[in-house]
Amino acid sequence: MKPIKVGLLGLGTVGTGVVRIVEGHQEDLQRQTGAAIEIAKILVQDKSKARSIAVDPDKLTENPWDIVGDPDIDVIVEVMGGVSVAKDHILTALAGGKHIVTANKDLMALHGAEILAKAAEKSCDVLYEASVAGGIPIIRTLVEGFSSDRITKIMGIVNGTTNYILSKMSQEGAAYADVLKEAQQLGYAEADPTSDVEGLDAARKMTILATLGFHAPVALGDVGAKGISQISKEDIQYGKQLGYTVKLLGIAENNDGHISVSVQPTLVKNSHPLASVNGVFNAVYVYGEAVGETMFYGPGAGELPTATSVVADLVAVVRNLKLGINGRRVLAPYKEKKLKTDEQIAYKNFILLQVEDKAGVLAQITQIFARHEVSLESVVQHPDAGKPQAEIIIITHDANQASMKKVLDEFGTMDVIHAIKSVYRVEG
Amino acid sequence: MKPIKVGLLGLGTVGTGVVRIVEGHQEDLQRQTGAAIEIAKILVQDKSKARSIAVDPDKLTENPWDIVGDPDIDVIVEVMGGVSVAKDHILTALAGGKHIVTANKDLMALHGAEILAKAAEKSCDVLYEASVAGGIPIIRTLVEGFSSDRITKIMGIVNGTTNYILSKMSQEGAAYADVLKEAQQLGYAEADPTSDVEGLDAARKMTILATLGFHAPVALGDVGAKGISQISKEDIQYGKQLGYTVKLLGIAENNDGHISVSVQPTLVKNSHPLASVNGVFNAVYVYGEAVGETMFYGPGAGELPTATSVVADLVAVVRNLKLGINGRRVLAPYKEKKLKTDEQIAYKNFILLQVEDKAGVLAQITQIFARHEVSLESVVQHPDAGKPQAEIIIITHDANQASMKKVLDEFGTMDVIHAIKSVYRVEG
């Protein structure tokens, strides 16, 4: 089989890793695929920039058309990031019959359906394992490993930055702002951390996982996202006392075809496998009707872990080329998307209230829960030493979100409740 | 596409699960594969036996030839267990061009190479995801997910029975014999538990994982196996005090093409992801040069979890049938098998000695380690209250097994050492 020519769009962190693996593992890759894999051209913004790897300068180009328009290029590996330019390049390449490997979660979450439809039309592969959870082969697991099962729940720690921050806050009792600053200095968080800390990055990944896991066309707009910037040391401390660890979880649920997907800070019971996933690691917990509980753990980002997934996809494309079956394995979502209403979304809640410390307050509060049919698992009251106020920590049983909203609305009108300090989902 | 006819060999626990999933998920399976999947015939030992599921009695047969010799059957699902009879049926079916899905670890560990060679010759699929770690898609992960990487270490909790026993011993401070009896009553351990508790079952699974992960033809005879029957409450207690959990681990290592595979009780540091895998759950930790640390967790046995993997393989066979590529994706081991010598196998050791409690003993002991160039991480001495003896707990740094053997041989000759009570590998 003739050498497979790859055009690489982007030579940043992941692109550099792709070059290292393709060159360093060349012999193994040939044995795995039956073909040599050659990175023939690389799109960069500035050819003259100094780089951490030696690359033949003749392979570098600043003109994308040199790659996407080159009939000799078989496969495009897109690791440049961004949405609209990357999308243009990919659609152009598909129009020319090239196969695509991408690590671009933003692109796949927003325009995955359009790109996959174009690929099917042109009998091209589009693979995107690296777009979710870096080095963890979670897309293969959902599509191939659990093809026989009905997945009812996917819970993911799919953003390493926020998991690093929350792990540090928990281990060191540090405040959010301090840990964020440290993470920025270490390069674990970006100068503008919004996309990570507000849960937007995780929401894009959950869009991809929910679409694949539930076979329904989940859109980014369907995913409610709440981030970690409001989490206090106190929240983490109270969680610990009750046996929970605070994690930013993406949670996708499917009950009888009714779907909900969200990203939110969640108190995870310490016995749950997700609770002990610390630092920049990612993990995806998958519950299937038949298989039950499973979890997949690994590095969520980084040059070589992400490149491992990119090159595994490249291996798959080359194997498909050898068999002549490119574009034949894509399974489009075949189920109607029915989103759950607030009445259908039910889970346990952690609520931290600051209240007036006087007789009868607890009774008033518990009556409101009762009136809206929210039953309680535990209620703990802490007097605030020397002050006329107390803190009440409530954990509910599974409560639907419509009822919870009514409860919280009523709390907002009560003079004896000084503040609704925190409300979090509870899992495990 | 015409319905795919499946012949099921065996209707025990896993076979029953396969029937439940194929029937219960029929519509999804059709969407996934583009074909109806029909379980056409089932081999049983006794047609008249009462069963937990309703099966058309006309489908049952006690004659294997009704299935393996039936030209209308496309795929054989072998879940009968055992080695020689199952092997005969599978080779006969392959000779007739049938594809195979099997959950049989014993068969694949012993005769996998022969069966896969026959399958390649006949352009047939042989898939065996369910043979290792039940519902965890670990074979796909090694073969597809990490196709781009060089795997250097695979550590698995791949036997649920022993993990259940060790978890109970650790959580309740119970003795091995008591927990084994309880596990037998609960059906987690067999009446003759030898295969599980002596590590033989785990050794078979590690043979399969090492062969796939390292691309070298590892044989069952290459895997040293030590079980859990000699583990004392005291071992577990001392491990806990030092921050370790005792697990039965299968450990396969590959350093520059030199391989070692073993199954042995191991003290796993509590911060390692394998340490918190409890009960009948399985987990496989995979270290790749590029990807780094990953772990895959889930149910290791059981009717529906194991059947999930069997039916996922069935889906893969049917997808391959549709594409006309059966038997084209098998990658035979392409590397020479070079086993490590004892000098090349190095790891940390935990050693528990009972010694005479008098001056100079510790010095004598540490001199022996020094003479054989084994350096020590920690040494703790516990006097045995009121007795003229003491216990010494030593954790070494990485030490090669040839040196360790010399140290232990010398210990055996020393009067001041009353007993070498335990020696375990340490990881994490």
- CA-nearest residue to A146 within chain B is B312
Q: Final residue of a domain: which of A323, A357, A383?
A: A323
| Residue B284 sits in the same domain as residue B316 | no
**Min Cα separation A262/chain B (Å):** 24
* High-pLDDT (> 70) share of chain A, %: 100
Instruction: For residue B99, give its domain range.
Output: 4-132+303-323
| Residue B174 sits in the same domain as residue B45 | no
Ordered alpha helix ranges (H), A198-267: 200-214, 233-241
| Residue B165 sits in the same domain as residue B93 | no
| Residue B108 sits in the same domain as residue B59 | yes
| Residue B101 sits in the same domain as residue B173 | no
ipTM of this model? 0.95
Say if the Cβ atoms of B273 and A297 lie within 8 Å: yes
A146 has pLDDT over 90: yes
Dump pLDDT digits (tens) for A269-286.
Answer: 999 999 999 999 999 999
Say if the Cβ atoms of B316 and A147 lie within 8 Å: yes
pLDDT at B339: 98
Summarize the annotated binding site of A as residue ranges: 9-16, 105, 190
Confidence category of residue A388, pLDDT binned at 50, 70, 90: confident
Using the structure block, give the residue that is written with the tokens 């009514």: A406
Q: Rounded to an integer, what is the distance from CA A177 to the centroid of its chain?
A: 22
| Residue A151 sits in the same domain as residue A267 | yes
- Residues in A closer than 8 angstroms to B215, CB to CB, are 28, 31
| Residue A158 sits in the same domain as residue A234 | yes
**Min Cα separation A327/chain B (Å):** 11
Mean pLDDT for A14-42 is: 97
Structure tokens of B74?
């496309």
Strand partners, A244: A269
Residue of A294, A319, A335 best to disrupt the B interface, most CBs of B under 10 A: A294
Dump pLDDT digits (tens) for A35-93.
Answer: 999 999 999 999 999 999 999 999 999 999 999 999 999 999 999 999 999 999 999 99
Say if the Cβ atoms of A293 and B299 lie within 8 Å: yes
Asked if residue A337 is part of any domain, the answer here is no
Q: Final residue of a domain: which of A289, A323, A357?
A: A323
Q: What are phi and psi of A75, to 5 degrees?
A: -135, 135
pLDDT at B384: 76
Confidence category of residue A203, pLDDT binned at 50, 70, 90: very high
**Min Cα separation A291/chain B (Å):** 4
Asked if residue A340 is part of any domain, the answer here is no
In the 3-class helix/strand/coil scheme, how is A14-54 assigned residue by residue? HHHHHHHHHHHCHHHHHHHHCCCEEEEEEECCCCCCCCCCC
Summarize the annotated binding site of B for L-homoserine as residue ranges: 190
**B416: which DSSP letter?**
T
Q: Which of A87, A98, A168, A205 is flagged as catalytic?
A: A205
Strand partners, A249: A264
When CB atoms are compared, the residue of B29, B276, B329 closest to A148 is B29
Say if the Cβ atoms of B147 and A312 lie within 8 Å: yes
When CB atoms are compared, the residue of B293, B304, B325 closest to A290 is B304
Q: One digit per residue, pLDDT tens: chain B, 428 residues?
A: 899 999 999 999 999 999 999 999 999 999 999 999 999 999 999 999 999 999 999 999 999 999 999 999 999 999 999 999 999 999 999 999 999 999 999 999 999 999 999 999 999 999 999 999 999 999 999 999 999 999 999 999 999 999 999 999 999 999 999 999 999 999 899 999 999 999 999 999 999 999 999 999 999 999 999 999 999 999 999 999 999 999 999 999 999 999 999 999 999 999 999 999 999 999 999 999 999 999 999 999 999 999 999 999 999 999 999 999 999 887 889 999 999 999 999 999 999 999 999 889 999 999 999 999 999 999 999 887 778 899 999 999 999 999 999 999 999 999 999 999 999 999 99
- CA-nearest residue to B295 within chain A is A297
| Residue A360 sits in the same domain as residue A217 | no
Say if the Cβ atoms of A21 and B149 lie within 8 Å: yes
| Residue A358 sits in the same domain as residue A286 | no
A385 has pLDDT over 80: no
- CA-nearest residue to B284 within chain A is A296
**Min Cα separation A362/chain B (Å):** 37
- CA-nearest residue to A301 within chain B is B291
- Residues in B closer than 8 angstroms to A305, CB to CB, are 290-292
Q: What is the CATH number of the domain that holds B398?
A: 3.30.70.260
Asked if residue B88 is part of any domain, the answer here is yes
- Residues in A closer than 8 angstroms to B25, CB to CB, are 148-150, 290
| Residue B145 sits in the same domain as residue B248 | yes
| Residue A146 sits in the same domain as residue A295 | yes
Say if the Cβ atoms of A291 and B311 lie within 8 Å: no
Asked if residue B100 is part of any domain, the answer here is yes
Summarize the annotated binding site of B for NADPH as residue ranges: 105
A1 has pLDDT over 90: no
| Residue B357 sits in the same domain as residue B406 | yes
Look at residue A389 and give its three-state secondary structure.
strand
Asked if residue B385 is part of any domain, the answer here is yes
Closest residue by Cα to residue B335 from B416, B258, B414: B258
Asked if residue B331 is part of any domain, the answer here is no
Confidence category of residue A334, pLDDT binned at 50, 70, 90: very high
- CA-nearest residue to A323 within chain B is B325
A75-78/A99-102 β-pairing: parallel
CB–CB of B314/B77 below 8 Å?
yes
CA distances from A221 to A200, A323, A339 (A): 11, 38, 11
Asked if residue B80 is part of any domain, the answer here is yes
pLDDT at B331: 81
**Min Cα separation A419/chain B (Å):** 38
pLDDT at A315: 97
- Residues in A closer than 8 angstroms to B17, CB to CB, are 290
Query: What's the distance, Cα to Cα, between the start and end of chain A in Å?
Result: 51
Whether pTM > 0.95 for this model: the answer is yes
Q: What is the CATH number of the domain that holds B58?
A: 3.40.50.720
Domain count across chain A: 3
Size of interface A-B (CB pairs under 8 A): 184
When CB atoms are compared, the residue of B25, B147, B290 closest to A148 is B25
- Residues in A closer than 8 angstroms to B152, CB to CB, are none
- CA-nearest residue to B37 within chain A is A148
Say if the Cβ atoms of B308 and A290 lie within 8 Å: yes
Say if the Cβ atoms of B298 and A292 lie within 8 Å: yes
Q: Final residue of a domain: which of A290, A323, A356?
A: A323
Per-residue b or e along B73-92, where b marks 16 or more CB atoms closer than 10 Å to that residue's CB:
bbbbbbbbbeeeebbebbbb
Confidence category of residue A329, pLDDT binned at 50, 70, 90: confident
Per-residue b or e along B256-279, where b marks 16 or more CB atoms closer than 10 Å to that residue's CB:
eeebbbbbbbbbbbeebbbbbbbe
Q: What is the CATH number of the domain that holds B162?
A: 3.30.360.10
